Chain A
Amino acid sequence: MHYGSEILSRTIDELMKLPGIGRKTAQRLAFYLLKSSQEDAVALANAIVELKEKVRFCVQCFNASENDLCTICRDVKREPALICVVEETNDLLAIEKTSEFHGLYHVLQGHLSPLDGIGPDDLRIRELMQRLEKTEVREMIIATNPNAEGEATALYLMKLVKPLGIKVTRIARGLPVGSDLEFSDEVTLSRALTGRQEM
């Protein structure tokens, strides 16, 4: 497509690579950036560059981190024998907001979804198993989303972890049907967390 500027069309193409962004939205964003102030545009560009340079994933739990270990894993007040397994960093943030949980996390970075060609090997499951072997874990809470994919991931993990003699619980299904963890309000989420059941 011709936008009268090679750079503009390149910007649009790059924006379209982002999840959930189609051509129309990409165009709107590009024109917005074109009209925005120099400082704003540079701040955004710098943030993206710094994000890629300085932020990576925690070597232990795969949460976003600027060091080898994330701030949660480094926090000595947290209980390392309690691990909450989530799909994405967003879910971790939603649980952190409730202040109900004082253990550590493990971010799978996705869920089982044959439709998208995602199997167990594409998730951070191998790393989770190594972690469970290395450290003393009393309880593992599975907080994957209450939909088909989250449930399949939970069932798969349960089958894998149960033989290790670790207590496995699943976050209670107090969430509205069809909702994702990320969007559920804090009250329902904290109630679901305290009411978790053993699988």
Chain B
Amino acid sequence: MFIKTVKGSNFRNLSAFDLEFAPGKNLFLGINGSGKTNLLEAIHYLCIGRSMRSVAEDEQMIGFTREWFRLEGQAQTTEGDINVEAAYNKEEKRLKINGELQQKLSELIGRMPVISLSQEDDDLCKAGPGVRRRFMDLAISQFSKTYLADLQDYNRILKQRNHLLYAIKEGRSNAGSLEAWNQQLVECGMKLVRKRMEVIDDLKEMAGSRYVGVSGGRERLGLRYHLSYKYEPGQPIEEAFAKALATGFEFERRRGITMFGPHRDDMEISLAGMRIRQFGSQGQQRTAAIALKLAVAEIMAAQLKEKPVILLDEIFAELDSQRAGLLIRQLDPECQVFIASAHENDITRQDGFKKFRVEDGRIVQE
């Protein structure tokens, strides 16, 4: 799919804009703080109803001294043209698809697949497991509605179970009904675990070859799903999960929260057999993160029969021009690409880029 136009009002520091994009490569040029990343964010928001920044509340996206923001975009997909309107006014978020008001924001997910690469991705290899779980959940949700529904169910069960554990800890409740929640946590949690493992299997192959493609090196990128409880090889996972809940009850009761399950699991990333989190260099970590994101884009395209839009935010800044060139060559030429950058470089100087200059929130097509 590709995004044809995007209109916006009161979105962050951006002046009202109405832009027409190229189906291929688009470049947003501007210094830091000019608003070029905000423009990427507007596109991301229209695609899945939220920012690509991990810490961004809707309220922060409203322009200074304004009361609301509004975005509208048109895209061409394999299922025909789609028009998306998103608005937020500090009280409610409204989403319209082809003029029809949607009750659930999740209706948008999967129709306009998007993948974003930014310096924030460095966290994927460096930070705690939460970042990697979010990566898996966001990626899989975009091509599997079942996964998204299971994830929502799981979070609900988890919230209820945590409240019960806390009530037990405080002596306000007994443990009589805990088993009913355990059973559901295991049943629903296993759906998430199975899907994540399945996706990681695919991802391993693709990310591995992407890593070689971008780094030009030969190190082998490895991925492994890591459970948050003890597991003997060959043992059914649901059995290990249920056992962890049963034997870990005292531990959970003391803390008053659920300590085992997919909300505590991790995805281990390794390079040549070594954990990248501890042993990888800055460059290796960044390249691995890029390889993972590109692999997700590939899986999405295959699962949805729809090419995702790719957003690259300042990704060249810390890559040498050779790696940057390799990265661009790794992108699916059929994917629409939006690049935000402070400078032109050897790659962007080539033909085929539609260029926009962003200055102090004003966007001008070159």
Is A119 in contact with B177, judged by CB distance below 8 angstroms?
A: yes
The answer to whether B180 touches A112, judged by C-beta atoms less than 8 angstroms apart, is yes
Asked if A161 is at the interface of the complex by the 8 Å CB criterion, the answer is: no
**B-binding segment of A11-19, A46-54, A145-153, A164-172:** A145-153
Which one, B53-61, B75-83, B149-157, B337-345, is touching chain A?
B149-157
Asked if B167 contacts A149 (CB within 8 A), the reply is no
Of B42-50, B158-166, B202-210, the one touching chain A: B158-166
Q: Does A32 contact B (CB under 8 A)?
A: no
Q: Which residues of B contact A148 (CB under 8 A)?
A: 153, 156-157, 160, 184
What distance in Å separates the Cβ of A109 from its nearest Cβ neighbour in chain B?
A: 16
Assembly CA distance A155 to B163 (angstroms) = 18
How far, in whole Å, are A149 and B164 apart by their CA atoms in the complex? Answer: 12
- A155 and B160 contact, Cβ closer than 8 Å, known pairs A120-B176, A120-B177: no
Task: List residues of chain A with CB within 8 A of the CB of B156.
Answer: 147-148
Which B residues between 153 and 191 are near A, CB-CB below 8 angstroms?
Answer: 153, 156-157, 159-161, 163-164, 167, 172-174, 176-177, 179-181, 183-184
The A-contacting residues of B in range 267-284, CB under 8 angstroms, are: none
**B144 CB, nearest partner CB in chain A, Å:** 14
Would B167 and A155 count as touching, CB distance under 8 A?
no
Q: Does A114 contact B (CB under 8 A)?
A: yes
For B149, list chain A residues within 8 Å (CB). Answer: 177-178
Contact between B164 and A114 (Cβ–Cβ < 8 Å)? yes
How far, in angstroms, from A77 to B64 measured CA to CA in the complex? 70
The docked-state distance in angstroms from the alpha carbon of A115 to that of B177 is 13
Given A119-B173, A148-B153, A159 contacting B160 (CB threshold 8 A): no
**B173 touching A153 by the CB < 8 A rule?**
no
Q: Is the CB of A152 within 8 A of B184?
A: yes
Contact among A115, A117, A155, A177 for B180, CB-based, below 8 A: A155
The answer to whether the Cβ of A156 comes within 8 Å of any Cβ in the partner chain is yes
Q: How far is the CA of A159 from the CA of B177 in the complex (A)?
A: 10
Interface flag for A188 (CB, 8 Å): no
Of residues B157, B173, B177, which shows the largest number of chain A Cβ atoms within 10 Å of its Cβ?
B177
CA distance A145 to B149 in the complex (A): 16
In contact, A114 and B179 (Cβ under 8 angstroms): no
Contacts of A156 in B (CB 8 A): 176-177, 179-180
Residues of A within 8 A of B176 (CB): 119-120, 156
- Give chain B residues whose Cβ lies under 8 Å from the Cβ of A153: 180
- Do B163 and A112 touch across chains, with their CB atoms under 8 A apart? no
A197 within 8 A of B: no
Closest-CB distance, A162 to chain B (whole angstroms)? 13
Report A3 CB to chain B, min CB distance, Å.
Answer: 24
Min CB distance A152 to B, Å, is 4
Is A71 at the interface (CB under 8 A from chain B)?
A: no
C-alpha spacing A178/B160, complex, angstroms: 16
Name the one of A114, A120, A177, A178 contacting B167, with C-beta atoms under 8 angstroms: A114
Decide: A114 and B180 in contact? CB cutoff 8 A.
no
Closest to A155 in B: B180
In the complex, what distance in Å separates the CA atom of A177 from the CA atom of B184? 16
Q: How far does the Cβ of A61 sit from chain B's closest Cβ, in whole Å?
A: 22
Residues of A within 8 A of B177 (CB): 112, 119-120, 152, 156
20 contacts between A and B (CB under 8 A): A112-B160, A112-B180, A113-B160, A114-B167, A114-B173, A115-B160, A115-B163, A117-B167, A117-B172, A119-B173, A119-B174, A119-B176, A120-B176, A120-B177, A151-B180, A152-B177, A152-B181, A155-B184, A156-B177, A159-B180
